Amino acid sequence: MKGLVFNEFLEMVEEKFGFEISNQIVTNSNLDTKGIYSSLGYYDYKELVSMVVELHKITKIEIPLLIKTFGTYLFSIFVKNYGIFFQNEDNLLRFLSKIEDIIHVEVLKLYPDAEFPKFKIELLDEQQIHFLYNSSKGLHDLAEGLILGAAIHFNTKVEIEKEFVQIDGTCVLFKVKIV
């Protein structure tokens, strides 16, 4: 996972919970990196999971909600830092339908070693889209948060239904409907 993601997670924690909590989760996680990430570097996603677990222990906020909240936050960072991907789109579902074939392809040009979950996307109509999420990391809550962040960006209210194709969360069907 790119260091950018780790840095933004720590930034979110600092913004929402303060520097002391951010420092505490890094210290308590016993990370190989000591919480120091180059934005362009590549790091084991398990370090992120360790920090989320430590944040949960401190805040008592459920882990899925913490990860989903981070995904929503991360989307806003993507908009701020990579605005070019969002300039010519004003529709949430059309934007989401382009994730696999356009957005990920363009991001790979910038970061050739980036790893993404795989999505099989089906735009059903003007109100519904289905995503089949596949990732060995099982970070489906992060993907859900990113979808929610996109909905906020496009000022669109959505309902998201998740069906676990694999119980371990490595394959999840997202059904997104505009409400």
At 89, is the pLDDT very low, low, confident or very high (cuts 50, 70, 90)? confident
**Closest among 2, 155, 156, 139 to 174, alpha carbons compared:** 139
* Main-chain phi, psi angles of 76, to 5 degrees: -65, -35
Cα angle 46-159-148, degrees, rounded to a multiple of 5: 45
Write the pLDDT tens digit of every residue in 56-74: 999 999 999 999 999 999 9
3-state secondary structure of 2: strand
- Predicted confidence band of residue 109 (pLDDT cuts 50, 70, 90): confident
Query: Residues of the chain with pLDDT > 90: what percent?
Result: 74
Instruction: Report phi then psi at 64, rounded to 5.
Output: -60, -35
Amino acid 103: pLDDT: 67
- Locate the domains of the chain by residue range: 3-61, 91-178
Q: What does the pLDDT look like over 111-151, one tens digit per residue? A: 677 677 888 999 999 999 999 999 999 999 999 999 999 99
Report which of residues 4 and 21 the model is more confident about.
21
What DSSP designation does 115 have?
A: -
Q: Check if CATH label 3.90.1520.10 holds for domain 91-178.
A: yes
Instruction: Kindly give, in sequence order, each residue whose CB lies less than 8 Å from that of residue 25, ignoring residues fewer than 6 positions away.
Output: 13, 51, 54, 55, 58
